[in-house]
Amino acid sequence: DFTKVFPCPSKKRIAIMVTYILKKFMLMRRDLVKEDNTKYLEKMQFLLYFPDKPHNPMVNAGAIVVTSLIKQGVNNAEKFDYVMQFLNKMAGNEYVGFSNATFQSERESGDRNFAIGYYLKEKKCFPEGTDMVGILDFYFQLCSIEVTCESASVMAATLANGGFCPITGERVLSPEAVRNTLSLMHSCGMYDFSGQFAFHVGLPAKSGVAGGILLVVPNVMGMMCWSPPLDKMGNSVKGIHFCHDLVSLCNFHNYDNLRHFAKKLDPRREGGDQRVKSVINLLFAAYTGDVSALRRFALSAMDMEQRDYDSRTALHVAAAEGHVEVVKFLLEACKVNPFPKDRWNNTPMDEALHFGHHDVFKILQEYQVQYTPQGDSDNGKENQTVHKNLDGLL
């Protein structure tokens, strides 16, 4: 079903907003409020935010005002071509289409939007000389844009990738546009469920009445969920359920701890450069006898048994240099393996003996007697002991 075409009447608000921000029309700062309140906006008396501004581009009033600010002074055909070209770039040239049937339906059943348009015109929310009826026609055209899960997921990935399309590598959006768009999606992208979604899922998203949810995991990935059955707030039932399951399995919630939340998976790929830096920092701290640095590494959940290209660990280096405090810290607090072998089959005891550090040799010899490999012990108790030892270091 990922290639099945469906309309995106609410996704177009994202397109409207990012297109607008991309061009950096400064009018937005005074024509729209970045208000996250999405309740009661169906009622006319709460349509505008003091002083007479739409709440945000995610509601009809805000979307209509922003539509009036795109490519001012040109006809609707040129405006529509501009937005379609922009969406195609954002989708990496995946499918983005137009449904004339949806357009006719939107225009014929658009009484409420016409009412909003006249109300906005009366409040002077449009730029001077704006043809309100023409703007609503353009708005209905944007409501009739069609996408697939495949193309919409690339759009989401473009937002997640800082404005660079992951398919073409082209820069489509500025960092400012991405930041502003994701901020509004996070605070008011899910209708009246926005607050609950931000609390439980903690990711920027935008839902639509066609059953789609465009979800962005910043700096990681973007995805599009589509399942037409809706709940009472107009969001996809299965889409919401999927988002909950996703953040319960992976540490994608905006406020999940990336290091110490052991119950959740972290699917982010660690780069090779990062691993190299980690090993270098660990072994250099052991070489210089910097226990404070080693304590920081241990408390940040670093693997204290990491090896370099010669399979030497921090314990090898500390034993060779005769740093008693470092050896004690690694053995007693971090519970590292006391007899790992490097590429020459040397253990830390061999290093201490070879370089004449008999005090280190004695510590290693005593610890070997009481050491129990983690695989042979209760992992839960072992982890608790390690955490208790590390907590004591604070």
pLDDT digits (tens, 9 = 90+) for 89-148: 999 999 999 989 889 998 999 899 999 999 889 888 888 889 999 999 999 999 888 899
Q: How far apart are CA 349 and CA 315, in angstroms?
A: 9
Residues 233 and 282 placed together within one structural domain of the fold:
no
Residues 203 and 81 placed together within one structural domain of the fold:
yes
Residue 45 pLDDT = 38
Largest CA distance in the chain: 91
Residues 88 and 177 placed together within one structural domain of the fold:
yes
Residues 48 and 167 placed together within one structural domain of the fold:
yes
Give the residues across from 225 on adjacent strands: 213
Residue 293 pLDDT = 95
Residues 221 and 291 placed together within one structural domain of the fold:
no
Domain assignment present for 36: yes
Q: What is the CATH number of the domain that holds 22?
A: 3.40.710.10
Task: Count structural domains, the chain.
Answer: 2
**Distance set, CA 47 to CA 106, 162, 338 (Å):** 20, 32, 69
Residue 23 pLDDT = 44
Domain assignment present for 259: no
Domain assignment present for 310: yes
Q: 367 by DSSP, 3-state: which?
A: helix
Q: What is the CATH number of the domain that holds 386?
A: 1.25.40.20
Q: Name the DSSP class of 330.
A: I
Residues 125 and 23 placed together within one structural domain of the fold:
yes
Residue 364 pLDDT = 94
Residue 352 pLDDT = 96
Residues 179 and 245 placed together within one structural domain of the fold:
yes
Domain assignment present for 261: no
Question: Domain limits at 25?
Answer: 6-249
Residues 99 and 148 placed together within one structural domain of the fold:
yes
Residues 364 and 230 placed together within one structural domain of the fold:
no
**Distance set, CA 264 to CA 127, 149, 166, 223, 275 (Å):** 50, 27, 26, 20, 21
Residues of the chain with pLDDT under 70: 1-3, 6-52, 258-262, 269-272, 374-394
Residues 300 and 376 placed together within one structural domain of the fold:
yes
Residues 233 and 349 placed together within one structural domain of the fold:
no
